[in-house]
Amino acid sequence: MSARRYATCGILAVAMALFLVAGAFAGNDRSGAAAANATSAAAAGKQDEPAQRIEGERRFRANCGRCHQAPHKFPPRMMATIIRHMRVRATITDEDMRLILQYMTQ
Binding site for another protein (CB under 8 A): 1, 5-6, 9-10, 12-14, 16-28, 30-31, 34-35, 39, 42, 59, 61-62, 65-72, 74-82, 84-85, 87-96, 98, 101-102, 105
Looking at residue 71, the DSSP 8-state letter turns out to be: P
Looking at residue 106, the DSSP 8-state letter turns out to be: -
Nearer to another protein, 53 or 82 (CB): 82
Task: Give the Cα separation of 92 and 96 in Å (integer).
Answer: 6
Min dist. Cβ of residue 44 to another protein (A): 13
Looking at residue 73, the DSSP 8-state letter turns out to be: P
Task: Give the Cα separation of 85 and 104 in Å (integer).
Answer: 15
Min dist. Cβ of residue 51 to another protein (A): 16
Min dist. Cβ of residue 6 to another protein (A): 7
Looking at residue 69, the DSSP 8-state letter turns out to be: P
Nearer to another protein, 22 or 44 (CB): 22
Task: Give the Cα separation of 32 and 28 in Å (integer).
Answer: 6
